[in-house]
Amino acid sequence: MAAATLTAGSVSSAFPALTINQRQRDRLDRLDRAWEAMADPATARPKILIAAPVDGLPAPEVQFADPDLMLACELAKLRNHLELEDDHVASVRVQFGTAQVAHAFGCPLEFPTNSLPAARAPALASAEEALALALPALTAGLYGRVAEWHQRWRARLPEGVRIQHPDIQSPFNTAHLVRGNDLLMDFFDSPEAVGALLDKVTDFLIGLVPELNRQIGSTGGFFDDWGCRWRGRARISNCSMHMIRPEFYQRFILPRDLRLMEAIGGGRIHYCGTHGRVIDWFASNPRVHGIDVDPGHHDFWDLARRLPPETVLVTTGTSADSPFVRRLLAGDWPAKRNLGVLVYVQSLEEGRRLLAALRAAMPG
């Protein structure tokens, strides 16, 4: 069956309807509580998430056009985790890409082949335009569609499955997309405009996060993201931070990240950037309860020592044959116990073997 011709019905027929039995519900309830207790380094135990492919799913741009098709695909991927019984919580996500906030501020979208949409071009041609930039409505860009899909999914989800948080890029990541690479010179030429743009994105996110949580029914002090359960209310991505000096993060961006996390009730930071010094500034934010980084770019063992004990540290995805995973399999784990390890594998069977091996190698 060609990927371009798949429909929600054909995916649903290829993959049996997902139901979670009582034994699975009991295990998932225990898993939720274990994730929620990860802030306590004395009792936490590392979590392992195995990402195995699901053959036959349509391309992301095909899923993007059909809410029922995307939900069927998300549930098909969740089935792998239920079969493996790894540490992925029972959650799915509306996959609309990383340009949602930037698109709300006027960035046009690009639809690459076999990919989710991305920002095609900046919205602002000059730094001065940032000073007069209006705050978007919470339905701007893709967000009206996001709300409709969340409502539709909640009416169709199998019992026991939640909706993960949609992607949220940080004040700086979004400002960089909205202004483009000229923003890097604006730090020197128009610092006032940089501050104004960062403030407006921060203000928008402070209004957006509670609205998204309302849509997905996320209540209390925890939210789902990347198959993990995190303390706080949202995740922001600060990946573009490796393009600027850490001192610029301290001066321009940390005050906005502090204000955002305080206003929304805390959360976590995703960072797939390559420069390491800025991670300590991320961790200095008392409302940042979790950080994930690429163990191929950063010394995970050193970072585990440097982070506050209560801060959860998780990897971005890494391959099963990476030096990082081989080191874990040899029994060399960081002393920090509130860790999460996400590994990509080629098949469900490989994932089953790797999950067992990692759990066997994990210190007691």
pLDDT at 176: 97
Please give the average per-residue pLDDT across 73-89, as a whole number: 96
Identify the band that residue 364 occupies on the pLDDT scale cut at 50, 70 and 90: confident
Number of domains in the chain: 1
Out of 5-9, 33-37, 260-264, which region has the weakest mean confidence (pLDDT)?
5-9
pLDDT band at 3 (very low <50, low <70, confident <90, very high): very low
pLDDT digits (tens, 9 = 90+) for 170-204: 999 999 999 999 999 999 999 999 999 999 999 99
What is the rounded average pLDDT of the residues 223-246? 95
Q: What is the residue whose two structure tokens read 């006032």?
A: 192
Q: Are strands 162-163 and 312-315 parallel, antiparallel or unpaired?
A: unpaired
Q: Please give the structure tokens belonging to residue 342.
A: 């996400």
Identify the CA nearest to 165 among candidates 242, 237, 67, 75: 237
According to the model, what pLDDT value does residue 297 have? 95
> Which of 219, 300, 232 is CA-nearest to residue 262?
232
**162 beta partners:** 91
Cα–Cα distance between 259 and 206 in angstroms, integer?
Answer: 9
Query: Cα–Cα distance between 177 and 103 in angstroms, integer?
Result: 9
pLDDT, averaged across the chain: 94
Q: Per-residue pLDDT for 8 more than 60?
A: no
> Which H or E run contains 324?
helix 323-329
Q: With a cut of 50, say whether residue 333 has pLDDT above it.
A: yes
Mean per-residue pLDDT, 118-135: 96
Confidence grade of residue 2 (pLDDT, cut at 50, 70, 90): very low
CA separation, residue 342 to residues 49, 147, 173, 269 (Å): 5, 29, 23, 16
How large is the average pLDDT for residues 113-124? 95
Q: Give the mean pLDDT of 275-301.
A: 95
Per the structure, the complete domain to which residue 281 belongs is given by: 3-361
pLDDT tens digits, one per residue of 261-272: 999 999 999 999
More confident residue, 219 or 162: 162
What is the tens place of the pLDDT at every residue in 316-328?
999 999 999 999 9
Residue 89 is part of a domain; what is its CATH number? 3.20.20.210
The residue whose two tokens read 């991670």 is 279
